Amino acid sequence: MTIRSVAIIGLGLLGGSIGLAVKARGLAVTTTGWDRDAEVRARAAARGLADTIAETPEAAVAGADLVILCVPVGAMADAARAIAPGLAPETIISDVGSSKAAVAEALAEALPGATIIPAHPVAGTEQSGPDAGFATLFAGRWCIITPPEGVDPASLEALSDFWAALGSKVETMDAAHHDLVLAVTSHIPHLIAYTIVGTASDLEDVTQSEVIKYSAGGFRDFTRIAASDPVMWRDVFLTNRGAVLEMLGRFTEDLTALQRAIRSGDGDTLFDLFTRTRAIRRAVIEQGQDDERPDFGRDH
Ligand code: NAP
């Protein structure tokens, strides 16, 4: 089974990037896009995010081999219900949501009997909307597929091949494991960035202008993550609640241990941790997940 036509529902960063990547890589795949917002549809048509921009969700999915829902995780059920009347029985339904167990459950409830194979491309930026997408977003990045038990092997293979054709490295795991791993690698880092930027902006004895003026000391790197889409991230924390709270408990314990080390002047503990974390940065670069240039390659 080969994917020849894809319907993209939600034409923001992820949806737009899928459409642009299909085109840029010259895949023999036709794309049809739909977004609930007429202005987004107009912008998507102007940028050529899909071969066709449909006016209704039913028209977007008619005849599609694969439908990919690219909306915030809290909107997956609504989007699934909107496309339901136009779906053919053999169409594969997938998504790009950042949390997986809750999305799998929502989709199964909204589309009983459909072939549903959730997925999460671990690739993104802090930008959103129809102008944010770009063709190389998935190149060399992981796409984690979380197939439900009893999945049709041919459909799973077709979906994996599609993501590989977009340049992704593909991995499969169960949804609960995905949610725990991503809580550590993505969700908690976002929560920390939101907290630290919020705390700094609330400080009464540091004026706003000083926070911005001296931001190159480290603060500005957190502001990139803390600029991420508020709707998307609200939904991630609400749908991955269990794993995030579990990992937050671990994080809080580690933070308390560091607090104790600083208070008691325990330099060895600080030095040992900072040495271990430096090695992790090296591993991220060695595995091609970031640029090796200092300071993310910024001009100085
Ligand atoms: P985005 O740029 O905000 O795009 C989402 C689009 O979906 C918006 O145009 C939105 O329209 C539209 N939409 C919302 N509800 C809809 C509905 N019920 N039916 C049709 N369209 C609807 O968001 P994104 O960054 O592409 O994120 C999309 C998904 O990818 C999310 O589930 C997110 O968790 C996941 N993801 C994001 C990243 C990242 O870094 N951004 C990375 C990996 C995965 P409105 O503006 O009118 O709401």
pLDDT in tens, 243-257: 999 999 999 999 999
From the centroid of its chain, how far is CA 256? 30
Distance, CA of 293 to CA of 223 (rounded, Å): 20
Model confidence pLDDT, tens digit, residues 63-121: 999 999 999 999 999 999 999 999 999 999 999 999 999 999 999 999 999 999 999 99
Residue 124 vs residues 11, 63, 134, 191, 288: alpha-carbon distances, Å:
14, 29, 10, 16, 15
Place of tokens 């991220």: 284
Specify whether domain 177-264 bears CATH 3.10.20.30: no
DSSP conformation letters of 126-179: S--STTS--TTTTTT-EEEE-PPTT--HHHHHHHHHHHHHTT-EEEE--HHHHH
Nearest CA to ligand 1 atom 33: 97
pLDDT band at 206 (very low <50, low <70, confident <90, very high): confident
- Ligand 1: atom nearest CA of 231 is 3
Q: Does residue 35 contact residue 60 with C-beta atoms inside 8 Å?
A: no
Query: Mean pLDDT lowest for which of 28-42, 77-91, 202-216?
Result: 202-216
* Whether the CB of 179 sits within 6 Å of ligand 1: no
**pLDDT of res. 299:** 84
**pLDDT of res. 220:** 93
Can you give the residue ranges of every domain in the chain? 5-173, 177-264
Q: Does residue 262 contact residue 270 with C-beta atoms inside 8 Å?
A: yes
Q: Does residue 142 contact residue 122 with C-beta atoms inside 8 Å?
A: yes
> Stretch 193-216: mean pLDDT, rounded?
86
**pLDDT of res. 109:** 98
Whether the predicted pLDDT of 131 surpasses 90 = yes
Q: Which of 70, 76, 141, 179 to mutate to test the pocket of ligand 1 (most atoms within 8 A of CB)?
A: 70
Residue 165 vs residues 2, 168, 184: alpha-carbon distances, Å:
11, 7, 28
Q: Which residues contact 228 (CB under 8 A, 6 or more apart)?
A: 126, 128, 190
pLDDT band at 202 (very low <50, low <70, confident <90, very high): confident
Query: Who has greater pLDDT, 290 or 8?
Result: 8
**pLDDT of res. 48:** 98
Q: Cα of 162 to ligand 1 centre, how many Å?
A: 20
Query: Which structure tokens are listed for 296?
Result: 């993310």
Model confidence pLDDT, tens digit, residues 139-181: 999 999 999 999 999 999 999 999 999 999 999 999 999 999 9
* Whether the CB of 132 sits within 6 Å of ligand 1: yes
* Whether the CB of 78 sits within 6 Å of ligand 1: yes
Distance, CA of 63 to CA of 21 (rounded, Å): 21
**pLDDT of res. 201:** 81
**pLDDT of res. 209:** 83
Give me the percent of the chain exceeding a pLDDT of 90: 91
- Ligand 1: atom nearest CA of 97 is 32
> Stretch 269-285: mean pLDDT, rounded?
96
Q: Cα of 71 to ligand 1 centre, how many Å?
A: 3
* Whether the CB of 33 sits within 6 Å of ligand 1: no
* Whether the CB of 71 sits within 6 Å of ligand 1: yes
Q: Supply the DSSP symbol for 9.
A: E
Give the SS3 label for residue 94.
strand
Give the SS3 label for residue 52.
strand
Nearest CA to ligand 1 atom 9: 12
**pLDDT of res. 203:** 81
Q: Which of 9, 11, 20, 36 to mutate to test the pocket of ligand 1 (most atoms within 8 A of CB)?
A: 36
* Whether the CB of 7 sits within 6 Å of ligand 1: no
What is the assigned CATH class of domain 5-173? alpha beta
Q: Does residue 154 contact residue 1 with C-beta atoms inside 8 Å?
A: yes
**pLDDT of res. 277:** 97
Model confidence pLDDT, tens digit, residues 3-23: 999 999 999 999 999 999 999
Q: Which of 9, 14, 234 to mutate to test the pocket of ligand 1 (most atoms within 8 A of CB)?
A: 14
